[in-house]
Structure 1
Amino acid sequence: MNYPVVIGIDFGTTYSGCSYAFAQNEEIIDIVKWPKQNNHIYPKTPTLSLYRKGSKEILDWGHGAKRNAMKPNHPDTLLLSKFKLYLDEHLQKNVLPNNLDVVDVIADYLSVFHQHVCEELQKGFAANYQQSSFRYCLTVPAMWSDQAKSAMREAAIRAGLVERNDPSDRLMLISEPEAAALYCEKKSEQFNLMHGQRFMICDAGGGTVDLIVFEINEEAPGRRTLREVTRGHGDTCGSGFLDIRMRDYIRRKCMHISPIHEYAMEHILDNFINMIKPEFDGLEDQFLELPACMGIHHLTDQSIGLSNGCLHLPATELLNEVFEPIVQQILRLIEYQLQQSPDLEAILLVGGFGQSNYLFRRIDECFADRVGMIGVPPRGELAVVRGAVYFGLHPTTITERVSRRTYGIETRMLFQPAIDPPDFLVTGVDGRDYCRQRFSVYVYRGQSVKVDACVSKSFVISYPNNTDSDLYAFDGDGPVPRLTTDPQIQKVGHFPIRMPKLEGVKPGDKVTLTIRMYFGLTEIKIESVILDQVITYTSAFESAKMGVSNPASRIRLGSWSPPLLTDHVVTHPSAVMYPSINDSHHTEMHSTSTFFISNPLWKEQ
């Protein structure tokens, strides 16, 4: 399907933004007008939602949510911030108030955010098109799990961006550093980046910092593509954590003078975020005017640098107490990527935190002698959202990705007495001994996979029984466990397989089930094939831990139909045999991840 309008949404931890383009001319337009922004000139809106205590109905959002929450006569409201981080399974988080579900909170925000976006679009030429014909590209952190990405897709559906039964490519997900790389590729001539050269994207936002190394491939004059070289990774060390450290630093500094109420602290943090944080270079001292509501505007205390209500913040204190602990985490992330790909032409800093003078200075100090150049592209704070639009216009610009995990399914394989546990031995109807609950790998962690490549395996099942399968993942770098019962293996997905009606096939007959998996996409796609009938699954991941309780969110189930060869046959560049898999089985390789199917009646052909 052709989409005349492509909308990119950068749903961020602290700020969210939106850009769009018409497919005819591909000129990117940024949405810069946001409700109640007043004199704020930042081209994004705060990722804030306001609820009434005891209610699950959103009252306000963005700038309006913050303004209303700070009113002294609104004690019955709750201001939610940084709720995107609730999708990061590795962070310890407090329970959301009001028994709110994180997917619903994100959906609430995206719903009002999207409503404003549509109103802005209607003021322009997009009014000539139906919203149902828009394509949406939503950015997600590279470090997010499959479950988190599935929860994000579900939130977008609940928010009304797309309908649940729309084609899956109407809502596309792309990792934030990939989107930034597409934007930087458009600016690559400004940085003299040429065919075969590699560059690192350091996407430093409000919550997360993500990094990936890409290689430029000039397939033809004017036609450039990107190949992911390293396995993207990141950490929760964005600029929002500077704010947390600043809050603690100010409280410690002023603790013997006056308690700082939340209203006053918000004013202090606003000054820090808008005035100090962007310009801090680690060299110049800063001065902070404390709010009048603290009642100390005439107070002087030389022991803490307070003079007539103005607080002196020495550069060394800000550096050691606020900035350097967070920046050190980012430097370690960059070092890890450099160890994987030492031959780099450039490190490009994008995202809101990527515009920080101090961050640039520290990266330059540490890596300038190992990298050709360290740069900040123009409007780097919009690199991710603009890159999302480029991705929606040209989804095949990124041709190859690196698998973050090992994926596979659960099946039976021939029993090997020397290494398989006796408790797992079962005898099949064919009289042969099998090992149950074997982990059958589809793709390995760190493996490069082309975006259009698939891994295909075949199994035998009985007609007309329906069956279910589970997808498993292994995150380690060591030997892959043989059994899905290993504690290092985790179930990450579930997909039901409904047997179609097959002419000429009797109950009890054996039929071949082929499972094809595509790992080179942002989201894993799975196809089940039985006698040339294909069913397609996207976002095929159990997401109950993320608050997704709607069964439809677990698997997107297509309808059975005879396949067109041009739609489903993939040219396989190579065939790879895995020693951990039954030697009689042939695996066609085209991606980077690993899945498992947990049906005790299945055995590999």
Structure 2
Amino acid sequence: MRKLIRKLTTLTDSHVLAVAFDFGTTYSGYAFSFLDDPLTIRTNQGWIAGSDQLISLKTPTCVLLNPKKEFDSFGFEAENKFASLAEDGQHHDWLLFRRFKMLLHSNENLSRTTTVEDINGKSMPAMTIFAMSIGYLKRHFLEALNRQKTGIVDSDIKYVLTVPAIWNDNAKQFMREAAEQAGIETKRLKLSFEPEAASIWCQILTTEAKESLSKSGTQYMIIDLGGGTADISVHEKQIDNTLKELHKASGGPWGGTVVDDNYLKWLKQIFGSATMQKFKEEQMEDYFQLLREFETKKRSITPESSGKITLRLSATLKELYQKNEKVQLDDKITSLGLKDTVKFAGDKLRVDASVIKGWFDAPINSVITHVQRVLKEPNMQRVNTVLIVGGFGECKLAQDQIQKAIRNKCIIIPEGAGLVVLKGAVRYGHSQDIISSRIMPRTYGICILEKFDEQTHSSAKRMKFLDGVKYANDVFVTIIRAGEGVQIGKMISKGPYTPTDPDKTSFAVYCTEKVDPKYTTDPGCKLLGKLIVSHSNGRPRKDNTLNASFVFGDTELLVKAVNLRTGEEFATYIDCL
């Protein structure tokens, strides 16, 4: 079990500057502001894609390692260098990792030894790749800061790392440890839930959003549509201007990358999987250009888009097809029933807008179905405003379909929706008390022995006598239930508990999606970790009675135990990895 290596205190506010890293599935970036002017948010003013001179406020979440498996480059630079190596046939020993953040989504088996595959199937420890990525963003930021000659040193900085609120405890801890490996001191690191960060920034905007959200008691939903996930939260504005969560964070893998995947699947239908694989391996530069071209094109798709839309393809893709496939391309199009919707003209692929719009349907429909289900819940009836943010949230097609499906709510898309999370995370870095309470996404409890009762306990749980008393084992004692609200930093105490072992007591902490589990062996119950308390002092068990306390609401679960006779305190952050 991970030792408690940091002091059990809240984060200090002794910082001069707060910087947030938005580590996304498709793109990453950072922004910062100074404590004396926290609302003036500064971002990196442009990552350059390369030959096409595409300027972006974020860069692809993409890591390149050299043949010695050492970090070489990140983002556009990594993609371009790997493509250049591939053109000369020198890329085979290099490793390129793209879009690996989704490895952490709903991964119950995530651990420090989990591996991730690069673009050609070569594996590396995932923690190493995540740490390299965060380390690059940190170095890039510090270099930019030093060029401004601010005189600020690393110890003056509060770091914030954005994470989806729907992630499990193990994924959140994984990101924290990756950041620590990247050289960020844990006492200066804070995790920010992405929809919460968006909610915070929308309170500040001098726009329709601020006007709609300014009154205390206002209840609203935030739909954060990113590259990998849709992350949905519901908040209420409090009289002290803090934000109270009303519904546990929810969502799913319904981000913009689903559209990209549908495009690539469609191309495989036409050109064949073997040809597309050869194209990716042998014409890497053209392959990346195809992806970037589509990224730009899909942002221009609107509800009004009609007729044929031009997608540029490399001539090498058609050449590879002609070498590998026996069927002529025009005949293949006809056999797929696409003769009227797809045309080739040189390096241009002319596709009917209805086909392209179809690639958006699955993620958008999943979001709409989920949002409608949440809004129908009895305690959501006062939610009158819906905010749409995130990179995929800037998609006009997604905006239009959500607006049409949710007609009885005020739908707001704030200006610069793709940067709202990043800017809100910076603001959160200066004032973490903006979020006053959260809804617990899972039920948490501990495993104890309980006096056996034939009326309530299963006979299978009956165990041997202890001091002449019959006990049931594996009993789940609930500390807090899924769906309950909890103030940030709230401590919940349970006990007293008399040890069953004269030398030590083990508090095993479990969690489950169920509201009222009975036993820790019930389906869906997961062991998070243990706090082991030593009391090998030769005294009777009753002289070592303990109280247990649990601190909820933050990104990690703190467990404490106090020996009621001696006052000795034990504590640990539960190790979810």
Name the TM tier (shorter chain): 0.7 to 0.9
Asked whether the equivalents of residues 401 and 448 of structure 1 are also in contact (C-alpha less than 8 Å), the reply is: yes
Q: Which moved more, 1:33-42 or 1:175-184?
A: 33-42
The aligned runs of 1:36-435 (5 Å cut-off) are: 37-38=49-50, 39-52=53-66, 55-71=68-84, 72-73=87-88, 74-76=90-92, 77-90=94-107, 96=117, 97-124=121-148, 127-162=150-185, 166-167=186-187, 170-187=188-205, 190-191=208-209, 192-193=211-212, 194-219=215-240, 224-254=241-271, 261-262=279-280, 263=284, 264-281=286-303, 283-284=305-306, 285-294=308-317, 303=339, 304-320=342-358, 322-340=359-377, 341-367=380-406, 369-371=407-409, 373-426=410-463, 430-435=467-472
From 547, 553, 564, the equivalent of 1:520 is: 553
Q: Which residue of 1 aligns with 2:18?
A: 6
CA distance in 1, matches of 2:32, 2:217: 30
Q: Which residue of 2 aligns with 1:583?
A: none
Does the residue aligned with 1:70 lie in a helix, a strand or coil?
A: helix
- How has the CA–CA distance of structure 1 residues 144 and 313 changed in structure 2, closer, same or farther, with 3 Å as cutoff? same
Give the AA of the match of 1:25. D
Q: Which residue of 2 aligns with 1:596?
A: none
CA distance in 1, matches of 2:104, 2:518: 30
Q: Which moved more, 1:36-45 or 1:322-331?
A: 36-45
Asked whether the equivalents of residues 115 and 124 of structure 2 are also in contact (C-alpha less than 8 Å), the reply is: no
CA distance in 2, matches of 1:403, 1:345: 23
Q: RMSD value over aligned CA atoms?
A: 2.9
Q: What is the TM-score with the length of structure 2 in the denominator?
A: 0.83
Asked if 1:451 is matched to 2:488, the reply is yes
Give the AA of the match of 2:346. N
Q: Please report how far the alpha carbon of residue 489 of structure 1 lies from its aligned counterpart in structure 2 after TM superposition.
A: 1.4
> How many pairs were matched up?
522
Asked whether the equivalents of residues 499 and 541 of structure 2 are also in contact (C-alpha less than 8 Å), the reply is: no
Q: Please report how far the alpha carbon of residue 267 of structure 1 lies from its aligned counterpart in structure 2 after TM superposition.
A: 2.0
Q: Which residue of 1 aligns with 2:9?
A: none
Q: Which moved more, 1:77-86 or 1:468-477?
A: 468-477
CA distance in 2, matches of 1:364, 1:94: 40
CA distance in 1, matches of 2:454, 2:415: 62
Asked whether the equivalents of residues 213 and 337 of structure 1 are also in contact (C-alpha less than 8 Å), the reply is: no
In structure 1, the gaps of 5 or more residues are 544-605
Does the residue aligned with 1:381 lie in a helix, a strand or coil?
A: helix
> Residues 236-272 of structure 1, C-alpha deviation per residue, up to 9 Å, x if partnerless?
1111111111112233245599867123333222111
Q: Please report how far the alpha carbon of residue 463 of structure 1 lies from its aligned counterpart in structure 2 after TM superposition.
A: 9.6
Give the AA of the match of 2:347. G
Identity %: 25
Q: Which moved more, 1:204-213 or 1:520-529?
A: 520-529
CA distance in 2, matches of 1:251, 1:422: 57
Give the AA of the match of 2:529. G
Asked whether the equivalents of residues 212 and 337 of structure 1 are also in contact (C-alpha less than 8 Å), the reply is: no
Does the residue aligned with 1:445 lie in a helix, a strand or coil?
A: coil
Asked if 1:542 is matched to 2:576, the reply is yes
Does the residue aligned with 2:36 lie in a helix, a strand or coil?
A: coil
CA distance in 2, matches of 1:467, 1:35: 54
Q: Please report how far the alpha carbon of residue 423 of structure 1 lies from its aligned counterpart in structure 2 after TM superposition.
A: 4.3
Does the residue aligned with 2:260 lie in a helix, a strand or coil?
A: helix
Q: Please report how far the alpha carbon of residue 180 of structure 1 lies from its aligned counterpart in structure 2 after TM superposition.
A: 0.9
Q: Please report how far the alpha carbon of residue 233 of structure 1 lies from its aligned counterpart in structure 2 after TM superposition.
A: 0.6
CA distance in 2, matches of 1:541, 1:523: 9
- How has the CA–CA distance of structure 1 residues 6 and 95 changed in structure 2, closer, same or farther, with 3 Å as cutoff? closer
Q: Which moved more, 1:40-49 or 1:485-494?
A: 485-494
> Residues 507-539 of structure 1, C-alpha deviation per residue, up to 9 Å, x if partnerless?
76622322211222232222222344434433x
Asked whether the equivalents of residues 405 and 445 of structure 1 are also in contact (C-alpha less than 8 Å), the reply is: yes
CA distance in 2, matches of 1:181, 1:218: 16
Q: Which residue of 2 aligns with 1:588?
A: none
Q: Please report how far the alpha carbon of residue 441 of structure 1 lies from its aligned counterpart in structure 2 after TM superposition.
A: 0.6
Asked whether the equivalents of residues 282 and 316 of structure 1 are also in contact (C-alpha less than 8 Å), the reply is: no
Q: Please report how far the alpha carbon of residue 332 of structure 1 lies from its aligned counterpart in structure 2 after TM superposition.
A: 1.5
More helix by share: 2
Asked if 1:510 is matched to 2:543, the reply is yes
Does the residue aligned with 1:449 lie in a helix, a strand or coil?
A: strand
Does the residue aligned with 1:143 lie in a helix, a strand or coil?
A: coil
Q: Which residue of 2 aligns with 1:581?
A: none
Q: Which moved more, 1:112-121 or 1:401-410?
A: 112-121
CA distance in 1, matches of 2:304, 2:504: 64
Q: Which moved more, 1:438-447 or 1:387-396?
A: 387-396
The aligned runs of 1:433-512 (5 Å cut-off) are: 433-458=470-495, 459-461=497-499, 465-477=503-515, 480-498=516-534, 506=539, 510-512=543-545
CA distance in 1, matches of 2:231, 2:191: 16
Q: Please report how far the alpha carbon of residue 439 of structure 1 lies from its aligned counterpart in structure 2 after TM superposition.
A: 0.5
Q: What is the TM-score with the length of structure 1 in the denominator?
A: 0.80
Give the AA of the match of 1:317. V
- How has the CA–CA distance of structure 1 residues 493 and 278 changed in structure 2, closer, same or farther, with 3 Å as cutoff? farther
In structure 2, the gaps of 5 or more residues are 1-11, 321-327, 334-338
Q: Which residue of 2 aligns with 1:570?
A: none
- How has the CA–CA distance of structure 1 residues 472 and 282 changed in structure 2, closer, same or farther, with 3 Å as cutoff? farther
> Residues 39-94 of structure 1, C-alpha deviation per residue, up to 9 Å, x if partnerless?
332211110011246x4322221111100121212332221111111112359999
Asked whether the equivalents of residues 408 and 439 of structure 1 are also in contact (C-alpha less than 8 Å), the reply is: yes
Asked whether the equivalents of residues 48 and 56 of structure 2 are also in contact (C-alpha less than 8 Å), the reply is: no
Does the residue aligned with 2:575 lie in a helix, a strand or coil?
A: coil
Q: Which moved more, 1:33-42 or 1:193-202?
A: 33-42
Q: Which moved more, 1:426-435 or 1:86-95?
A: 86-95
